[in-house]
Structure 1
Amino acid sequence: MNTIKIKLDHFLQNADSSIQELTFITDSKHPVWDDNAQIIELAKKQVLEAVEKLPNEEVLTYIGVHAKSRFSNKRDTLGFVITNFRILIETDISVLFEKENATIILFSMKSNSKQIADEALTIFKKKSTMKIDETFFNGFKNALENTLEIILTELKNENTLPLEIKKASNISDRIKELNLQNDLKSLTENEKLILKFAEKFQISDIKYAMIDKPFFGSSYGLVITNNGITSRDVMEDAISCTWQEIKTNLAIAGEKDDIFYAAAKKHVIPQHKSNSLSNLIILINEIALGEIDL
């Protein structure tokens, strides 16, 4: 790991100022900022520890900016945390709802640094509500491409990465891999609301739910059961389809970001959880195809 840090530090010291202002290397004397160690520590606490640090995982670099919340008056880490196992893309500083965890891209021996940089930037641009001018964005791009090239090259030379990324085969682990754990809750995690939903709409064996309760009216959203899925919108009837029906007509995104179709039937999730829809569709299809065990 020392070789990686030395090469990263050499890159940072000789980089353009637009990169230096956004890039922080562990155990490095920063050419611009005096609080490099504190910034790395904050990124580790707010981003890495929020998704559970892996055994022997180390933060190698953080590329990003801080946003200050007017509600809490604290600094929030936004950007990219790169470790010896993965890159974490943090875009959320939400205070009205539970903060969404960072999106994760795992490394393997087959990883391509430029492809990962492009994917990470696309995710950040799509999910971040912060407006970033072209200069900042180019700084992100150049910093990501260069640091990922250094890190992945050395990790491959050290033969410390897995040959390929294998997705989990059980639903609880797969939910974490898809970063759905904040929005898709198990029965034990949200028992009261789920049991009320089950009783109201006569649904048995609910395993997971993405539901909410308005001030007036019944709960709405989606639940996953042993037999399939059921969803309902506010003031609408519940709609169900079985795993077999979904298998023959897989789930696809709908015309709005809180709507999707499965078995050619229209389903809905709470609007404030719409960022999770694309990964929820992946999970539903994987269950229907028998790739994930409930």
Structure 2
Amino acid sequence: MESIEMYESALPPQRSALFTLLTARAAELAAEKPDIQDFVFVPGHTHPTWDDGQDRLWRAIEQMMLVSPAGDDELPVVWVGYDVATRFTNRREAQGFLVTDRRLIVKDNVDLVFGKGEARQYPLYVGPNGIAASAAAIASTAIESYDWDSADSLVDEEDAEWFSQLLVAAITTTLEAVASTGTAIAGAPVAASDIRARVKELGLFAAAKYADDEKHAKHFAKFAKKMPLDPGEQILACFSASTLAGPYGLMLTDRHLRSRGLGEDPVSTPRVQVEVEAVRVNPQSKSQIIAAIGEVHEFPSHLGEREAGALVMLIQEWAEGRIN
């Protein structure tokens, strides 16, 4: 596919009709938010500012939706965002929020030396309190987890509030339209219990390393010398990096939370001794997590505030035994 028009032409008639309905409603909502019109792109509708608006939108669809589509006939409804040039390749990368008929896709990071920028997704659902409440909850979760610091030169606080309002409205009308077709809509999602699936849900996929991944074999071999495991202990997920001084970072195993700071001795906290309610980012250091009184663990400083918060949640769920 090379354009939105080509994508739509390949849709079955019923899906094409729904696509037309959803994008028409999205265009109406966009017109109600002139203060952020530069950031709002709707398939098939001319952008009021950018002559190449549909090309920008298609790039966002390719990078945020089509890399891992939720079905061959997923329908992009509205993109609220912007694109940036990466520092290392000058490649344009889409950022922001893409609403489809099945999920809200969020991307606030770009490809870096340490890993690939990954999008997060929030499936659309209808909980017990109805469509409007569910739409508000989905949008709120996405807005609160967004790395607004990376967008501070483009999006101010008032713009972010307009983003939130538009997303709630777009998700609401999308759910209403899908429901009107008789299509079953899922209930509120349950967090995955498998650690790799949960890592992906939390938007930590790009930051995680796994011991059975061949491309990280040398990294784990070096780590084994600096941070040995107990006999039979298994690594579940590792959030680490390497320098000339050796590997450092944090790992979860089936028994311990382990970590090593640069040039420091390894630290280990048995799983049963992690105090779930106390787990938090160290107020004195944004690259440390407190697991219990006196138990402080280092993680790579290239992980941002959002990743740190997600890592805290992962550790809490692991300590509670909610993750296999």
Using the size of structure 1 for normalisation, the TM-score is: 0.86
Whichever residue aligns with residue 206 of structure 2, its letter is N
Corresponding residue SS for 1:224? strand
Give the structure 1 partner of residue 22 of structure 2: 4
1:194 maps to which of 206, 220, 244: 220
Q: Structure 1 residues 38-47 or 87-96, which shifts more?
A: 87-96
Q: 1:19 to 1:160 in 2, by over 3 A?
A: farther
Give the structure 2 partner of residue 218 of structure 1: 246
Whichever residue aligns with residue 23 of structure 2, its letter is K
Whichever residue aligns with residue 220 of structure 2, its letter is I
Q: CA-to-partner distance for each residue in 1:176-212, whole Å, 9 max, x for gaps?
A: 1111111111112322111221233222422321111
1:143 aligns with 2:166: yes
Q: 1:177 to 1:39 in 2, by over 3 A?
A: same
Using the size of structure 2 for normalisation, the TM-score is: 0.79
Answer yes or no: is the 8 Å Cα contact 1:211–1:219 preserved in 2.
yes
Distance 1:26 1:98 in 2: 30
Equivalences for 1:129-168 in 2 at 5 Å?
129-131=151-153, 132-133=155-156, 136-137=159-160, 139-157=162-180, 158-168=182-192
The total of aligned residue pairs comes to: 290
Q: 1:280 to 1:135 in 2, by over 3 A?
A: closer
Give the structure 1 partner of residue 238 of structure 2: 209
Give the structure 1 partner of residue 317 of structure 2: 286
- After TM superposition, the runs of 4+ consecutive aligned structure 1 residues lying more than 6 A away are none
Distance 1:253 1:138 in 2: 26
Unaligned runs of 5+ in 1: none
2:142 maps to which of 78, 102, 120: 120
1:62 aligns with 2:79: yes
Distance 1:119 1:225 in 2: 29
Equivalences for 1:1-294 in 2 at 5 Å?
1-2=18-19, 3-12=21-30, 14-50=31-67, 52-55=68-71, 56-69=73-86, 71-110=88-127, 112-124=134-146, 126=148, 128-131=150-153, 132-133=155-156, 136-137=159-160, 139-157=162-180, 158-189=182-213, 190-203=216-229, 204-215=233-244, 217-246=245-274, 251-255=279-283, 256-264=285-293, 265-275=295-305, 276-293=307-324
* Cα drift, residue 159 of structure 1: 4.4
* Cα drift, residue 127 of structure 1: 5.0
* Cα drift, residue 129 of structure 1: 4.5
Corresponding residue SS for 1:222? strand
Corresponding residue SS for 1:272? coil
Whichever residue aligns with residue 11 of structure 1, its letter is L
Answer yes or no: is the 8 Å Cα contact 2:57–2:79 preserved in 1.
yes
Q: Structure 1 residues 256-265 or 200-209, which shifts more?
A: 200-209
Answer yes or no: is the 8 Å Cα contact 1:243–1:288 preserved in 2.
yes
Q: Percent identity?
A: 23
Answer yes or no: is the 8 Å Cα contact 2:82–2:95 preserved in 1.
yes
Corresponding residue SS for 1:279? helix
Whichever residue aligns with residue 163 of structure 2, its letter is F
Q: CA-to-partner distance for each residue in 1:236-288, whole Å, 9 max, x for gaps?
A: 21111122222677532222221111133111101012442211121122122
